[in-house]
Amino acid sequence: MSANSRQVSSNQIHLHPRLPEVVHRHLATAYRKPVAAHNCAAFQPLAEQLATSPRPLVLDSFCGTAHSTATLAERHPEHLVVGIDKSSQRIGRHQATAADNYLLLQADCEDIWQLLVQQGVTVDYHYLLYPNPWPKAKHLQRRIHGHGSFTWLVQLGGRLELRSNWQTYVEEFGLAMHLSGCRGRIARVTEGPAMSLFEQKYRQSGHELWSFCGEVAS
């Protein structure tokens, strides 16, 4: 992966002025988009593991090539770590490791969140590492905190960490979590081993990296 990565460019300088309105609307209204059939099929291996070998869950949403998923599996050896990404190309580039406590799902994260909530499942940890920032102001509702599925994420509970190389995105996410009743902390990502290939690339390109960490009451 090339280290020559551009900084996020946006026509939005500050927090989106409509963010509180959008978040409040989504929190007050059930997200009713039906789960796609291919996502139901992708969910089945996880459902089977939950039924036959139940373990506390760690989610690695938008995991890309799942380098981060394998890293998290080593960090959380007593958990089942589930990496989710909709791209078969990205998932297909994953290089398997010796860890045997992780599972990869090619699926839309939002549908997997919904299926877990509907089955009454919560998570211990939820990582969202460098999701697509959708930096144009008109795309607010494509961002995680502006999307209707944000309510599913909140209901999953657990300790949540989001990282991004766009400070505004992290600040918006932190505000959305605050509006949902979750307290957290925004800070720069400290030096240390990169959790994902994107983190490695952004560091090598000289980007400032930001994180939100908080505890979500399920």
Show me where the domains of the chain are located: 37-216
Q: How far apart are CA 3 and CA 94, in angstroms?
A: 19
Q: Which two tokens stand for residue 3?
A: 């280290």
Token pair 């981060």: residue: 68
Where is 104: in which H helix or E strand?
Answer: strand 102-106
Residues of the chain with pLDDT under 50: 1
- To the question of pTM greater than 0.85 for the whole model, the response is yes
The whole-number pLDDT of residue 3 equals: 60
The whole-number pLDDT of residue 77 equals: 95
Considering the segment(s) 37-216 as one domain, its CATH architecture is 3-Layer(aba) Sandwich (3.40)
The whole-number pLDDT of residue 17 equals: 93
Model pLDDT for residues 75-117, shown as the tens digit of each residue = 999 999 999 999 998 998 888 777 889 999 999 999 999 999 9
Q: How far apart are CA 104 and CA 163, in angstroms?
A: 20
Q: How far apart are CA 11 and CA 37, in angstroms?
A: 37
User: 60: how many CB neighbours lie within 10 A of its CB?
Assistant: 29
126 forms bridges with which residues in the sheet? 59, 160
The whole-number pLDDT of residue 97 equals: 78
Q: How far apart are CA 146 and CA 140, in angstroms?
A: 6
Where is 184: in which H helix or E strand?
Answer: strand 184-188
Apex 23 CA angle, 21 and 27, nearest 5: 120
Distances (CA, A) of 10 to 134, 137, 138, 143, 168: 9, 7, 10, 13, 10
The whole-number pLDDT of residue 142 equals: 96
Dihedral pair phi/psi, residue 46, rounded to 5°: -70, -45
Which sign does the torsion angle of CA 165, 169, 175, 179 carry? negative
Q: How far apart are CA 154 and CA 134, in angstroms?
A: 21
